[in-house]
Amino acid sequence: MTEILTVTLNPALDLATSCPSVSPGPKLRCGPETAEPGGGGVNVARAVVQLGGQARALVALGGANGDALERLLQERDLDLIRHEAPGQTRHSFSVTDESTGAQYRFVLSGPEWTEAQLDTVLDRLAAEAGAGDYIVLSGSMPPGCAPGWITRACDRLSGRRVVVDTSGAHLHQQATAPGPAPFVLRMDSAEARDLSGLGLETRADSAAFAEALRARGAAEIVIIARGKDGSVMATDKGRWHVTAANETVVSAIGAGDSFVGGFVKALAEGLDHPEALRHGAAAAAAAVISPGTQLCLPGDFADALPRTDLIAL
């Protein structure tokens, strides 16, 4: 099987808890907390492993929080490649309001990187990943990482298949198709609407914008997630829509990362792009019914996969 290497430059030690209600002012007495390793690439690797695949995770870790996160990753039998971060690994935490079911998510900042430190990451990735391997750049880029770094990464990692799922200025930069392009570029509907300036009300609208990005050279494959309406994908072979396969949402944490994990795992196992899209949708459906940050559990994935509906657009 082709190898999968995920990259997390700004991971987090994710804490999750709940309280009877969330309101400003009084002390909020919370229930027991759970601690999970967080960050886009970390979650993608966890999803791949939980679904029975294999993935290595290059994670930038620093300080006591980094050591705690490393222990959590080792407990989950993740094949970890530790890269020293320039500072303390950040926290993030979520609180669920038990009276309404609403979830409040707080994401803290991480340490700042220099260009030279970021270059060492590219050197290490080039040494760790072989030709044809999948390298997943998922999650927020750290402070100090200027837009354009993903393009540099694609250039430095020529011959590998780079999968990008990021946001903000880095996504905007990549959408302008500076080249060289990644293999896959994924985004959610809010990000796609922001990039396009359009409402993207229908599946066809989202698929058309995905194809416009692909034709422009933003990536070989462009995927736009539409929440409960599933996801659309544009490749040089056509456009597809897959249903979300689940209307119930317990926790949205890690749904997008689970999608990427299921999608890339399927590709690495030799499945074609449309079938991989189904696997991504089923992994996301499994993730949203898991509490906290548990991501996609294999039994839930197996239940969801037959419910996915793939349509050519």
Give 95-143 pLDDT, tens digit per residue.
999 999 998 989 899 999 999 999 999 999 999 998 899 999 998 899 9
Instruction: Tell me the per-residue pLDDT of 13-58, one tens digit each, with 9 for 90 and over.
Output: 988 899 999 999 999 999 998 888 888 999 999 999 999 999 999 9
Tally Cβ neighbours within 10 Å of residue 295. Answer: 27
- Cα–Cα distance between 296 and 64 in angstroms, integer? 28
Sheet holding 90-97, edge to edge: 34-38, 12-19, 90-97, 103-107
**Residue 135: predicted pLDDT:** 97
Determine which one of 257, 272, 300, 309 is catalytic: 257
**293 has a pLDDT exceeding 70:** no
pTM (predicted TM-score): 0.89
**Do you find a cis peptide bond into 298, omega within 30 degrees of 0?**
no
**Sign of the four-CA dihedral 15, 230, 284, 175:** negative
The residue type at 38: G
**Residue 223: predicted pLDDT:** 98
Give catalytic status of residue 229 as yes or no.
no
- Cα–Cα distance between 208 and 297 in angstroms, integer? 33
